[in-house]
Amino acid sequence: MKRTYPANIDGQIFYIDDDAFNLLQCYLDELKQTFKGEEGREIVSDIESRIREHFNTLAEAGVKVIVLADVNNVIATMGRPEELGCATGETETVEAPEAGSAEASSASCPPPAAEQAPFISINLPGKKHLYRNLQNKVFGGVFGGLATYLGWNANIMRILYLALALVTYFWPLTIIYLILWMIIPAAVTPRQRLEMNGTPVNVETVGRAVTDTVTPPPYMENEGGSSFFSTLFNVLGKILMGIFALLVGSLAFAALVCGLALFVGIIGLMCFESTSILTGFNLLPSAVGWSVLASLVLACLFVAITGFSLVYGASSVIFHTKPMSSRTILTIVIIAAVLLITACVCFAIGKPMF
C-alpha cells in the first residue's frame, strides 16, 4: 500500500502515488537547475504544461492515480535534463552573459553537432542526423526517417521498396530493412527530433519541440489515422524480426561452436598431437594447410560476432530494451572487419587442397 498525494501541476490537481511524486519532483528540480534565467523558466513552464496535458489525457482515459510508470513515460518523452541542457548550451554556472561564463559553458557542454551523432549518419544533407521517424511510420519508421533525412516522400520510397521486393522475392530487402531498423536509432527526445529535421538546437527550438511535437505514449498512438493498422503492422514487423533473429542466432551459435571446436582441435594437435577433432571435421593441416585452417576459425568467429550483434539489436527493438551505443557498434564493426580481413588474407596465402 502506498501513500497518494494531490499534486498541483501547472494549475491542475492530480493524484499521484509516493514513488511517482518523488521521481517527478526530482525531474522538475533538475530541469530548474539546468535552465536558468527568464528563457529557462519559460522552457520549464512549457515542459510542466506538457506534463499536465499528458496526465490530463490519462485522467480522461480513466486513470485515477498517476503511478511510477506514467512518470517514466513522461520523462522518456520529454527527454532528460542533461540532454536538453547541453542542447540549449546552458549550465549551472551561467548567470550573466560574460565572456568567462561563455567559455565555461562551451567547455562543459560541447557543440551539439559533434555530440551524440548517430554512428551511421553520413550528414550529407546539411546538418540533419539520421533517425527513425516514429511520427511517420508503418513498421519501424525507417522510411519515414530516410525520407526526412533525404528530403524525399516516404510513401514513394515505400512503393519503390515493395516493387523491388516483389522482383527480388522479398527476403533480401526484408533482411536489409530489419537490419536498418535495428541499427538506426529512433528519434524519441525533443533534441533528436530537432536533429532529425536539421533544425538548429537552441533554447527557442527546444522549448517549441517540447511544446508542439511531443510523441504520445505507445499505448495512445494513433498514427496515420488508424491505430488498428498501425498496431497490426508493428506486430507483423516484430514477428518478422523475431524470425530473423532466431535464424541468425542459430547460425551464429553454430558458427561459434564450430569455431571453438576447430580452435580446441588446433590446440590439441599442437600440444598433445591429437587429431581426433580435426579428423572429425576432415580438416587436417597436412591436407588443407595451417593458413586455411586459421581462416576458417576466424570466419566462424566473424559470423558469431556479427550474428549475435544482430540478435541483440532485434531483441532491443522487440522487447524495448536499451540498444547498443554508438561506441559499442563501432567496436563491433572494427573487430568484425579485422576478423574478416585476416581470414581472407590467411585463406589467400594458404594452399588449400579441396
* pLDDT for res 323: 78
Count the alpha carbons within 13 Å of 12 in the hemisphere toward its beta carbon. 13
Mean pLDDT is lowest, of 104-113, 287-296, 338-347, for 104-113
CA distances from 198 to 38, 81, 135, 338 (A): 26, 21, 16, 34
User: What are phi and psi for residue 121, nearest 5 degrees?
Assistant: -70, 130
pLDDT tier at 345 (50, 70, 90 boundaries)? Answer: very high
Mean pLDDT across the chain, nearest whole number?
Answer: 76
Q: How far apart are CA 112 and CA 289, in angstroms?
A: 53
pLDDT at 210: 57
Alpha helices in the chain (DSSP H): 18-34, 37-60, 68-78, 81-88, 99-108, 142-150, 154-167, 171-183, 190-197, 203-212, 227-272, 276-281, 285-288, 290-319, 326-349
pLDDT of residue 30: 80
For residue 88, pLDDT over 70 is answered with no
The whole-number pLDDT of residue 28 equals: 82
Who has greater pLDDT, 123 or 315?
A: 315
More confident residue, 9 or 340: 340
Burial class (CB in 10 A: 0-12, 13-18, 19+), 217: middle
Q: What is the pLDDT of residue 229?
A: 63
Is 240 a residue whose pLDDT tops 80?
A: yes
Handedness of CA 80, 139, 68, 204 (dihedral sign): positive
pLDDT at 228: 66
Band of pLDDT at residue 110, cut at 50, 70 and 90:
very low
Neighbouring residues of 13: CB distance < 8 A, sequence distance ≥ 6: 6, 7
Instruction: Answer for the pair 190, 206: CB distance below 8 angstroms, yes or no.
Output: yes
Residue 245 pLDDT > 50, yes or no? Answer: yes
Band (pLDDT 50/70/90 cuts) for residue 300 is very high
Q: Give the residue-averaged pLDDT of 305-331.
A: 85
pLDDT for 12: 82
Averaged over 90-96, what is the pLDDT?
40
Q: Is pLDDT larger for residue 255 or for residue 93?
A: 255
Confidence of residue 251 (pLDDT cuts 50, 70, 90): very high
Average pLDDT over residues 45-58: 83
Residue 59 vs residue 256, higher pLDDT: 256
How much is the pLDDT for 204? 55
Q: Distance between CA atoms of 107 and 89, rounded to whole angstroms?
A: 10
Q: What pLDDT score does 353 carry? A: 43
- Measure CA 169 to chain center: 29
Q: What is the mean pLDDT of residues 253-257?
A: 94
Please report, rounded to a whole number, the percentage of residues in the chain having pLDDT higher than 90.
16
Report percent pLDDT > 70 for the chain: 76
CA angle 200, 182, 160 (to 5 degrees): 80
DSSP 61: T
- Is pTM beyond 0.75? Reply is no
117, pLDDT greater than 80: no
Residue length, the chain? 354
**Average pLDDT estimate for 107-136:** 56
* Phi, psi torsion values for 186, nearest 5 degrees: -85, 145
**Which range (112-116, 169-173, 267-271) has the least confidence?**
112-116
User: How confident is the model at residue 342, as a pLDDT?
Assistant: 94
Residue 233 has pLDDT above 80, yes or no: no
Task: Pull the grid cell for residue 165.
Answer: 521486393
122 pLDDT higher than 60: no
Residues contacting 29, CB < 8 A, separation 6+: none
d(CA 46, CA 38): 13
- Examine the pLDDT at 5 and tell me if it is beyond 80: no
